């Protein structure tokens, strides 16, 4: 009897243990098995494999082809692992602790460099760095070069010119614009959009703008990309800094000075959309791009990377020559000279904690990709990158229409691009909080003042965590 | 002689299990606790910071909110899941046609993963809410009841199976004797069936509570915490802290340790309480 009792107590204890083991081991077990330092001894050994942790799932297949070609040419195997969308940081965290860590990985800018600086090799003396057409684009710290941008991207309002032409041909419209070239500030954009919304049935569309996607994890076009513009103007107003990005990086607190401007453009999106406001919480970016591709809407805010997505939608009716970019105007003084938002959050870094031979092989692979004929062909025609390297000739510029539009806007006289200041947003948590507030705003549960307050507060809290 | 022989083999037989237990549980568990006192990016470069992670965890209103939300979910689901599972078990142990088919059908949702269930129920619930011009993210209450429904759907079948097994093991002689003594069906249920199957009730209460506390996947798929993290349960909040916050790894780990302690304490108390009600099997 005594034994029975004791046995039961033990069983109870075991049950408790088993129940909670899932809680903690979920976070730790994988790392525990792999916590050996990579061996540093085999410096001169011939490297047969390098490891590239890819950030972009949409082009993972292309990288596999490139890896196969590179192996055929040089005998070096390139292991390409792709992190699922939105999980790059956690994938990198667990991969880098393994005994065969990634030799090439990617950081998202000055903030990402802060997290990963222990692992970033100085690339100052590499050919790769000398390839950069503008060395200022690289991530530098104390004279060292730690991140090389490999693609620049641009975003704005994508519009379907066929629908615009249809509108300009209407006889009963309230505006007198004759072409999209005349739209160069918020006031004009607003007049145009609202009149188009009024004539949506004649134009055969369900709304001017595609859904403002606010499903969880799908709000980056608003909390990151759209937010970039008011914050750019806010940081630009700060004196004593070389550029708005540095000003933003130094801001422990923000005023969200252009919050009203953000509201203006955001309201324009949600009030002239094909989707009712209360339904936006279920919409995804894919939904929005499909609406645009199927011709249900005339405009959608997104970047040049969206072309592949638009083209890939079954039943796509948007012609390649009709797809154009318009800058995002938010009613700021002098915005007539504002261009698209152009920058990058894709910087390649080489793992400083793998053997020297592997570091060298990794750099050679990247150099091959961006300077050899074969590599460049992949970059231009299959990856569709707008690569910021001087190794690309004039006729090697990308062929996809949005990428060409980005280049056009970059070259336009009297127009200057908006840099990507969102690289200095304090954390993903800040962006999520921003998105949460936007969702509650469109559902009518939060006033705009509260949204503004939430954003200001979240910046302060999250920035303090990075100190 | 015989004894010495045994003890020599004791180690041989215990070693594989012990090794697995050490590698997959004890070592990560200890590492996890140690890491909660450090600042780290990957576990090979941790820096000791004392209890500051715990202070930060408890001054975080998302965490406290998640704690409250999780407790509410756990209370409601433990009651509803066990109530419905018991009802089904009692129904399906009567001699009616097709009990096996029904048992299989009720058990099936348990075979579907939480992520899939989450998306399925998101579609179903949103489909209904569309009619009223709102969505699941409109109010935290919607997400709360959505989660309760989902977890009921998922766990009832499993608990039902445990209850059925227990009810079937009740000796028929007892029931017959009770009937002859003139006990009503309700008396048979409360005085005979329930006391005898008390060990199963303990197990079921324990399993449902543990599962509702640790729920992560269906929470992530159903609402992902929307609106504004008001429907994030503890596990999801820990995940968000760990991966989406700058330097949040240590704080996330500290939250996980707190989570462990809470769950362990509650589970232990609950086991003690329900054990007392058990009768020795006849």
Sign of CA dihedral A447, A451, A456, A462: positive
Q: What is the pLDDT of residue A27?
A: 43
Question: Quick one: pLDDT band at residue B4, thresholds 50, 70, 90?
Answer: low
CB atoms within 10 A of CB B75: 12
Whether the ω angle into residue A317 lies within 30 degrees of 0, i.e. cis, is no
Q: What is the pLDDT of residue A348?
A: 94
Q: Is the CB of A432 inside 8 Å of chain B's CB atoms?
A: yes
Contact list in B for residue A97 (CB cut-off 8 A) is 42-44
Give the chain A residue whose CA is nearest to the CA of B265: A16
Q: What is the ipTM of this complex?
A: 0.73
A380 alpha-carbon distance from chain centroid = 19
Q: Is the CB of B146 inside 8 Å of chain A's CB atoms?
A: no
Q: Is the CB of A352 inside 8 Å of chain B's CB atoms?
A: no
Q: Is the CB of A19 inside 8 Å of chain B's CB atoms?
A: yes
Q: What is the pLDDT of residue A64?
A: 92
DSSP letter for each residue of A115-126:
HHGGGBPP-TTS
CB atoms within 10 A of CB B1: 5
Contact list in A for residue B45 (CB cut-off 8 A) is 118
Give the chain B residue whose CA is nearest to the CA of A444: B138
Tokens (6 digits) for A179: 């072409």
Tokens (6 digits) for B137: 């993210």
A57 alpha-carbon distance from chain centroid = 12
H-state helical runs in A241-355: 244-249, 259-271, 285-293, 306-312
Tokens (6 digits) for B250: 């240590």
Dihedral of the alpha carbons of A60, A66, A71, A76, in degrees to the nearest 10: -70
Which CATH number describes the domain made up of A154-341+417-466?
3.40.190.10
Contact list in B for residue A282 (CB cut-off 8 A) is 126, 135-137
Interface touch B134/A278, C-beta < 8 Å = yes
Cα angle B62, B66, B67; round to 5: 120
| Residue among A8, A282, A466 minimizing CB distance to B246 | A466
Nearest-angstrom CA–CA distance, A249 and A139? 13
Q: What is the pLDDT of residue A22?
A: 44
Pinpoint the residues of chain A covered by CATH 3.40.190.10: 49-152+344-392, 154-341+417-466
| Residue among A24, A29, A90 minimizing CB distance to B256 | A24
State the DSSP H helix or E strand holding residue A428, giving kind and residue range, or none if neither: helix A428-442
Q: Is the CB of A99 inside 8 Å of chain B's CB atoms?
A: no
Long-range contacts, A330-334 (Cβ 8 Å, 24+)? A330/A186, A330/A229, A330/A230, A330/A233, A330/A258, A330/A261, A330/A262, A330/A264, A330/A265, A331/A185, A331/A186, A331/A187, A331/A261, A331/A264, A331/A265, A332/A186, A332/A233, A332/A258, A332/A261
Report the CATH superfamily, name and number, of domain B54-276.
MetI-like (1.10.3720.10)
Long-range contacts, A379-382 (Cβ 8 Å, 24+)? A382/A59, A382/A62, A382/A65
In order along its 467 residues, chain A shows pLDDT tens digits of 344 444 455 555 555 555 554 444 444 434 433 444 444 444 455 788 999 999 988 888 899 999 999 999 999 999 999 998 778 888 998 899 888 999 999 998 877 887 898 899 999 999 999 988 777 778 888 788 999 999 888 999 999 999 999 999 998 989 889 999 999 999 999 999 999 999 999 999 999 999 999 988 899 999 999 999 999 999 989 888 767 877 888 889 999 999 999 999 999 999 999 998 888 888 999 999 999 999 999 999 999 888 888 988 888 999 889 999 999 999 999 899 999 998 888 899 999 999 999 999 999 999 999 999 999 999 888 887 888 888 888 777 777 889 888 878 877 878 888 888 888 898 888 999 999 999 999 988 899 999 999 999 999 988 888 76
A window 162-191, beta carbon within 8 A of B: none
Q: Using DSSP, state whether A201 is helix, strand or coil.
A: helix
Nearest-angstrom CA–CA distance, A112 and A105? 11
Q: What is the pLDDT of residue A13?
A: 53
CB A438 within 8 A of CB A223: yes
B window 3-32, beta carbon within 8 A of A: 23-25, 27-29, 31-32
Q: What is the pLDDT of residue A368?
A: 94
Percent of chain B with pLDDT over 90: 31
Closest CA to A259 of A420, A428, A441, A466: A441
Can you give the residue ranges of every domain in chain B? Answer: 2-35, 54-276
Q: What is the pLDDT of residue A57?
A: 86
Q: What is the pLDDT of residue A198?
A: 93
CB A376 within 8 A of CB A140: no
A27/B248: higher pLDDT: B248
pLDDT in tens, B204-223: 988 898 888 889 999 999 98
pLDDT in tens, B117-145: 899 999 999 889 888 888 888 888 999 99
Which CATH architecture best describes the domain A49-152+344-392? 3-Layer(aba) Sandwich (3.40)
Burial-class residue B50 by CB neighbours within 10 Å (0-12, 13-18, 19+): exposed
Q: Is the CB of A118 inside 8 Å of chain B's CB atoms?
A: yes
B window 246-275, beta carbon within 8 A of A: 246-248, 252-253, 256-257, 259-260, 263-264, 267-268, 271-272, 275
Q: Distances from the Cα of A178 to the Cαs of A76, A325, A335, A413, in angstroms?
A: 57, 17, 20, 21
Number of Cβ pairs < 8 A linking chain A and chain B: 152
Q: What is the pLDDT of residue A8?
A: 54
Nearest-angstrom CA–CA distance, A220 and A229? 14
């Amino acid at each position: 009897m005594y034994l029975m009792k004791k046995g039961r107590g033990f069983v109870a204890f075991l049950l408790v243990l088993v129940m909670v083991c899932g809680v903690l081991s979920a976070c730790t077990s994988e790392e525990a098995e792999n916590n050996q330092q990579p061996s540093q001894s085999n410096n001169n050994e011939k490297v047969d494999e390098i490891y590239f942790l890819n950030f972009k799932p949409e082009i993972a297949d292309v990288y596999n082809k490139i890896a196969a070609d590179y192996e055929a040419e040089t005998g070096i195997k390139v292991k390409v692992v792709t992190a699922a969308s939105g999980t790059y940081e956690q994938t990198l965290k667990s991969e880098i602790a393994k005994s065969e860590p990634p030799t090439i990985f990617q950081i998202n800018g000055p903030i990402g460099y802060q997290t990963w600086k222990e692992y970033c090799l100085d690339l100052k003396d590499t050919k790769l760095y000398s390839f950069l057409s503008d060395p200022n684009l690289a991530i530098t710290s104390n004279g060292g070069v730690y991140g090389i941008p490999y693609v620049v991207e641009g975003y704005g309002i994508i519009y379907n010119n066929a629908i615009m032409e249809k509108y300009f041909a209407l006889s009963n419209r309230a505006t007198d614009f004759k072409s999209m070239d005349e739209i160069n500030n918020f006031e004009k954009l607003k007049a145009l959009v609202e009149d188009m919304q009024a004539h949506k049935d004649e134009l055969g569309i369900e709304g001017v703008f595609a859904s403002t996607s606010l499903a969880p994890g799908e709000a980056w076009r608003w909390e990151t990309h759209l937010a970039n513009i008011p914050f750019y103007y806010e940081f630009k107003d700060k004196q004593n800094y070389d550029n708005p990005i540095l000003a933003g990086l130094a801001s422990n607190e923000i005023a969200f000075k252009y919050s009203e401007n953000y509201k203006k453009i955001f309201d324009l999106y949600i009030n002239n959309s094909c989707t009712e406001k209360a339904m936006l919480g279920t919409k995804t970016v894919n939904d929005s791009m499909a609406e645009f591709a199927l011709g249900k809407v005339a405009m959608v805010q997104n970047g040049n990377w969206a072309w592949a997505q638009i083209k890939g939608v079954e039943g796509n009716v948007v012609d390649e020559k009709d797809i154009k970019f318009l800058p995002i105007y938010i009613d700021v003084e002098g915005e007539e000279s504002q261009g698209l938002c152009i920058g990058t959050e894709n910087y390649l870094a080489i793992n400083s904690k793998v053997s020297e031979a592997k570091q060298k092989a990794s750099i050679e692979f990247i150099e091959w990709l961006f300077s050899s004929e074969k590599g460049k062909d992949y970059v231009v025609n299959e990856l569709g990158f707008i690569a910021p390297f001087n190794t690309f000739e004039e006729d090697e510029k990308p062929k996809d229409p949005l990428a060409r539009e980005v280049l056009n806007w970059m070259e336009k006289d009297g127009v200057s691009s908006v840099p990507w200041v969102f690289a200095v947003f304090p954390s993903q948590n800040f962006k999520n909080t921003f998105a949460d507030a936007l969702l509650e705003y469109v559902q009518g549960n939060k006033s705009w003042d509260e949204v503004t307050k939430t954003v200001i507060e979240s910046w302060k809290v999250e920035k303090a965590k990075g100190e | 002689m015989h004894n010495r022989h045994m003890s020599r083999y004791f180690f041989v037989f215990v070693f594989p299990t012990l090794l697995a237990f050490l590698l997959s549980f004890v070592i990560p568990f200890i590492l996890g606790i140690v890491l909660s006192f450090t600042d780290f990016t990957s576990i090979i470069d941790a820096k000791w910071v004392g209890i500051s992670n715990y202070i930060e965890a408890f001054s975080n209103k998302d965490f406290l909110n998640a704690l409250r939300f999780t407790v509410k979910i756990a209370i409601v689901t433990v009651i509803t899941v066990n109530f419905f599972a018991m009802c089904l078990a009692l129904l399906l142990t009567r001699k009616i046609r097709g009990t096996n088919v029904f048992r299989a059908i009720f058990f099936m949702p348990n075979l579907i993963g939480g992520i899939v269930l989450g998306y399925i129920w998101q579609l179903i619930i949103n489909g209904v809410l569309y009619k009223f011009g709102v969505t699941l993210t409109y109010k935290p209450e919607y997400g709360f009841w959505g989660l309760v429904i989902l977890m009921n759907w998922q766990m009832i079948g499993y608990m039902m199976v445990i209850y059925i097994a227990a009810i079937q093991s009740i000796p028929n002689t007892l029931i017959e004797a009770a009937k002859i003594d003139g006990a009503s069906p309700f008396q048979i249920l409360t005085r005979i069936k329930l006391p005898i199957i008390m060990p199963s009730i303990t197990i079921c209460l324990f399993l449902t509570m543990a599962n509702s506390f640790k729920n992560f996947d269906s929470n992530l798929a159903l609402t992902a915490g929307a609106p504004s993290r008001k429907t994030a349960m503890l596990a999801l909040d820990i995940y968000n802290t760990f991966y989406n916050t700058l330097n949040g790894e240590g704080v996330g780990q500290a939250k996980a340790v707190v989570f462990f302690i809470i769950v362990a304490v509650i589970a232990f108390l609950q086991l003690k309480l329900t054990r007392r009600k058990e009768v020795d099997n006849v």
